[in-house]
Structure 1
Amino acid sequence: MKREQTLAIGLLSLLLSACDDPASQQIGVISTSDAQQEQVTRDLAQDVIRALHLRWQEQTGVMTKSVEDFCAGLSSLKDARFGFSQAADAWSFLQPVLIGPLAEHNLAWRVQFWPDKKNLVGRQVEQLLKKNPAPDVATLEKSSVVIQGLSAAEYILFDPSIDLAERATQSRYCPLLQSIAQNQQNLAGSVLAQLDAKDGLLTAFAAFPNERYADPMEAISELMRVNVTALDSLKKKLGTPLGRLNKGNLQPMQAEFWRSDLGLASISATLSASLALWQGNTHLGLRDLLKGSEHEALIPRIDAAFADVKQDLGAGGLGNALKDEAGRAQLNKLYDSLNRLHRLHQQELVTALGIQLGFNASDGD
């Protein structure tokens, strides 16, 4: 009888321990696999998702300061353009992790309007300035998303029809440019605060089950869907100006960030973020979920695919590369390596992880 009481007390202690563990949230002991999945979600949430949102918030601040200094005559147009490039780069890094507030509230359009096939950005910027020469942030927030974000700032800073070296031109465009930069900084700060909130995405990635996800693989599945879509988008961003998606017709003005010629830099940033999801930043990544499994042979193949894309990216801008045969040949090589990387994720990695992407998650060619 004493032995049975001891066993009962031991079992009760075990059950109570499991119930008290916020990482488990279930009766019983988590299997090693479940524990690893949960650790991966926690690591990716902090080391990648939050880190990239923080980077975005910081770089929109850099853009705001650079624009304010330029409009006050304290710095050069080159400095203002550099500030823009930093914010654009940080936004491109976010593409594989567009979950949480940016996705749930459809906020991405407020950051970037692309593709812009009919030059809506340029036309709406000019229309707004005719009606309101000095729109403030509050006015901008009530205006079309077309002119709230990076696309409108790029038009002002880089369009060849706008000579910001002229003081009169600066006076015309600076109020809107400053409001756009401040609007972006406010938006980035708000999104980061929502991520960090008690009921925010980061909390949902830390312990399961919760109101968002039943288990860690459900969270990983959503992240993978966004990541695969981002990789597919890279093919469109390169393939459209290159003519791969339109019967060989070059369309350089349909490239992302064509005015600033940051198209390849944007691809590089998005690729780096996708790589961080794969291998982890300072801790675990999706790669670790395959170790010791029957799918472990997929690891070096995806590693090699990332390395191939990085090598094929090279240096320089997309605009210049489109102008000559050698440049276009290199871009075609890059497109093919991007396609291989996308396919490995879309078909083989999701299968290995037991994920169903769904019909609309990615529709690559």
Structure 2
Amino acid sequence: MNKSLIAMFTIAALSGCSSPQTEQADKTAPVTAEKTQHPSQGVYELYFTNATKFENSAQLLSQQITNKCLSDPQEAKAQWSETMQTWMYLQGGNINVPQADALTWKVQFWPDKKDTTGRQLKSVLSTNPDIGLPDLKNQSATLQGLTALEWLLYEPQLDQDRCSLATTVSASLVDTSVSYKQSLLTNPWKGLSQAQWEKQYLSLVSDKLDRMSKKLSLPLANLGNPRPYFAESCAHRSLITFIYRRVRELLHAENGLMTLLEAKDPRLSTLIASTLSDTIATWPKEDSLFESIQTKQGYKLALSQLNKIDQLKYLINEQAAQELGIVVGFNSTDGD
């Protein structure tokens, strides 16, 4: 009898120990994209994967700023650059997911034509650099994302106040990245018909191209009179290259434009792919747009790239859309 009781208590004790571990394992299990048979599945999984990368990168950035902002600022800056790269794959126009679309300005406030970010950050630094996260979230979107962190981190003399505020801003960015990913836990386009999806998909591509065009046209301004401070980022050297790659990912996604066109107009499909590849290959890998357009040669190169983007926009928005029987609507990416 005693042996039986001991056995029962042993089993109960072991069960009691294992249950929390099982629950914890369930909580930490990786969240995966919803599986559907919808033609948008390939593009949806691409967005979900990139949202996951952005979330992970934002968390690392917050850790680096919290631990190394003053002791090793280069590490924090390097992670800021990495996080900006992951955001490149998500930015540009609306994706017709209200929760995600509403968060984009909190991640990156650009174009910032009036230096709103700088003015508001200076105000907070002078009055309340140790602002708490709940209070920061009640402030303007300009104070809560990558644009604000660039302004805070890329200063010759980092001090305790800047690092304290950057720590809070990075925590806000983490929360935003989590919310962005959560908005994509289910495929937002699975209810669309084939025709509706093709129109939505081409709109996604078109918005990316519009974003690319704006990245160049705003700082280039008038011939011979560039505005380098209108460049998307003064600190990052290869943002244009990353959004080119994002467009290429979209075009070559499962059931993407290349697949749709291949059956109807393989010549046009090849032309679009080669034009995009040539544009990526000829973009300088070392010079930042901010620096290069201040020289005559750099300005000419950027202008040449802008012309190539316009060619891509024509091939996709006009020829490809006509081939597929789609009218691409206008989507503004400028909220300033």
Normalising by the smaller structure, the TM-score range is: 0.7 to 0.9
Could you list the runs of 5+ residues in structure 1 that have no partner in the other structure? 1-21, 25-37
The reply to whether residue 226 of structure 1 matches residue 204 of structure 2 is yes
* 2:256 corresponds to: 285
Distance in 1 (CA, whole Å) between partners of 2:148 and 2:304 is 32
* 2:141 corresponds to: 145
8 Å contact from structure 2 (residues 250, 256) kept in 1: yes
Q: Which amino acid letter does the alignment assign opposite residue 80 of structure 1?
A: A
Would you say how many aligned residue pairs link Structure 1 and Structure 2? 299
* 2:50 corresponds to: 52
* 2:11 corresponds to: none
8 Å contact from structure 2 (residues 228, 294) kept in 1: no
8 Å contact from structure 2 (residues 99, 183) kept in 1: no
Aligned with residue 59 of structure 2, among 58, 61, 66: 61
Structure 2 counterparts to residues 151-170 of structure 1, below 5 A:
151-160=147-156, 163-164=157-158, 169=159
8 Å contact from structure 1 (residues 136, 175) kept in 2: no
SS in structure 1 of the partner of residue 113 of structure 2:
coil
8 Å contact from structure 1 (residues 96, 274) kept in 2: no
Higher deviation after alignment, 329-338 or 354-363: 354-363
Distance in 1 (CA, whole Å) between partners of 2:180 and 2:276 is 29
Distance in 1 (CA, whole Å) between partners of 2:41 and 2:163 is 42
Distance in 2 (CA, whole Å) between partners of 1:179 and 1:288 is 45
Offset of residue 352 of structure 1:
2.0
Q: Which string of whole-angstrom CA distances, capped at 9 and with x for unpartnered residues, describes residues 62-84 of structure 1? A: 211211121373xx111110111
8 Å contact from structure 1 (residues 252, 322) kept in 2: yes
Normalised TM-score (structure 1)? 0.76
Percent sequence identity is: 23
Describe the shift of the 1:220–1:159 C-alpha distance in structure 2 as closer, same or farther (beyond 3 A): farther
* 2:238 corresponds to: 265
8 Å contact from structure 1 (residues 228, 362) kept in 2: no
SS in structure 2 of the partner of residue 297 of structure 1:
helix
Normalised TM-score (structure 2)? 0.82
* 1:27 corresponds to: none
Q: Which string of whole-angstrom CA distances, capped at 9 and with x for unpartnered residues, describes residues 274-312 of structure 1? A: 1111112xx44321112222x222111101111121122
8 Å contact from structure 2 (residues 84, 146) kept in 1: yes
The reply to whether residue 92 of structure 1 matches residue 88 of structure 2 is yes
The reply to whether residue 242 of structure 1 matches residue 240 of structure 2 is no
* 1:274 corresponds to: 247
* 1:351 corresponds to: 322
SS in structure 2 of the partner of residue 95 of structure 1:
coil
* 2:282 corresponds to: 312
* 2:17 corresponds to: none
